[in-house]
Structure 1
Amino acid sequence: MRLFVAVVPPIEVVEDLSEFAEPRREYPDEDIRWAADEHWHITLAFLGDVPDWKTDELGERLETAAKRQKPFELQLTGAGAFPGVPDARVLYAGVRDDTESLKHLAMTTRSAASRSGVEVDGRKFTPHVTLARLRRQLDVTRWVRVFDTYAGPVWTAESVQLIESRLGEGPGHSAAYATVGEWDFLG
């Protein structure tokens, strides 16, 4: 299974961002593939292909990490691009986390995965929600300027999810996501 660990915004946060993004998504550009609202999440750890037999221990360790975490406030605000604005492949909404709890949670979930014998993608953690993927590198200065004006509602993150990504199964052959496990923050 292709797995990742994430914090998923509540429906009212997703709807608010979707309402802001909708007129922009209607702009015709064959190089931009907008992410579906139901796919919006903040990835803490990308695990790639994980054998089924490792998922039980992984789940137990993620549950332990979640039990130690206190709920915390987040806000989707601002924008950016990977690898950079002038040569973007991904356009994203930023995340405000005044307590740096997401950074800590990313470290503990990555550690939980490693202790379970699961290899974790080693990229630096940058909290974000992917808005669009680009078919080729583009300068997205104007898109970042537009989305940089967005400030969504503040919400309380209360759980972490282990999500399976099945490539090429969704509409237009995008990935389809399924939650494998979810654990509440009880710290």
Structure 2
Amino acid sequence: MRLFVAVIPPSAALAELARAADPLRGLPHADRLRWTDSATWHFTLAFLGEVDEELLPELAERLARAAHRHPPHPIRLAGGGRFGDRTLWAGAEGELETLRGLARSAGAAARRAGVAVDESRPFHAHLTLARSSGRTRVNLRPFAEALAAFGGTPWTVRRLELVRSHPPRSGQPGERPRYETVRAWELGP
């Protein structure tokens, strides 16, 4: 099964971001982007890829320990940016060092459980809002600039979640993966 470890913001925080991001869809060339659904927005702490089900018990045990080593901490969705002209994202402010530590612990837990972890990029707290398709590049600078002043209401990160990604099945253009929380753990002792 295809898995990742994440922090999922509360629905009120996602709704605030959705209201701020909605006007971006009216900018020039917005129709050439693949927009993500707000119901799937999350902070990916560790991307695990395909994981053998036999590894799940030990992975769950180690992720539980990782969650309990980190306290609940405040952050808020804020600002925006881009990874080149490939990905448009919303960022975060607050106790990001605690969130980075949680990401490091989640990756270490997975490795100790025998799961290969994609460590090709360092953790950067962001929620992906839109992507350029492979053959159609869009200048994402105006989109990121329009989102730069956004600052959501603070909320507390309280849970670490192991999420399964179900790939699109229909073959229809525009279909997106579906996410399902497999297990979740409260932060703190």
TM-score relative to the length of structure 2:
0.91
SS of alignment partner, residue 153 of structure 1: coil
Determine the structure 1 residue equivalent to 2:149. Answer: 149
1:63 aligns to what? 64
AA in 1 matched with 2:37: A
| RMSD over aligned Cα atoms | 1.6
Q: In structure 2, which of residues 118, 123, 126 is the aligned counterpart of residue 125 of structure 1?
A: 123
Instruction: Give runs of ≥4 in structure 1 deviating > 6 Å.
Output: none
When structure 1 is superposed on structure 2, of 27-36 and 60-69 the one drifting more is: 27-36
Distance 1:148 1:14 in 2: 16
In the alignment, structure 1 segments of 5+ residues that lack a partner are none
Q: Percent identity?
A: 38
More strand by proportion, 1 or 2? 1
Which blocks of at least 5 consecutive residues in structure 2 are unaligned?
none
Structure 2 CA distance for aligned equivalents of residues 163 and 169 of structure 1: 18
SS in 2 for 1:145: helix
Task: Give TM-score scaled by structure 1 length.
Answer: 0.92
Equivalent in 99, 108, 111 of residue 108 of structure 2: 111
Contact preservation (8 Å) 1:42, 1:129: yes
Give the letter aligned to residue 186 of structure 2: D
In the alignment, is the contact (CA less than 8 A) between 1:13 and 1:153 conserved in 2? yes
How far 1:99 sits from its partner (Å)? 5.2
The answer to whether the Cα contact below 8 Å between 1:92 and 1:130 also exists between their aligned partners in 2 is: yes
Q: CA deviation at 1:66?
A: 0.7
* CA displacement, residues 156-182 of structure 1 (integer Å, 9 cap, x when unaligned): 000010001112148832111000110
User: Is residue 78–residue 95 contact of structure 1 (8 Å, CA) maintained in 2?
Assistant: yes
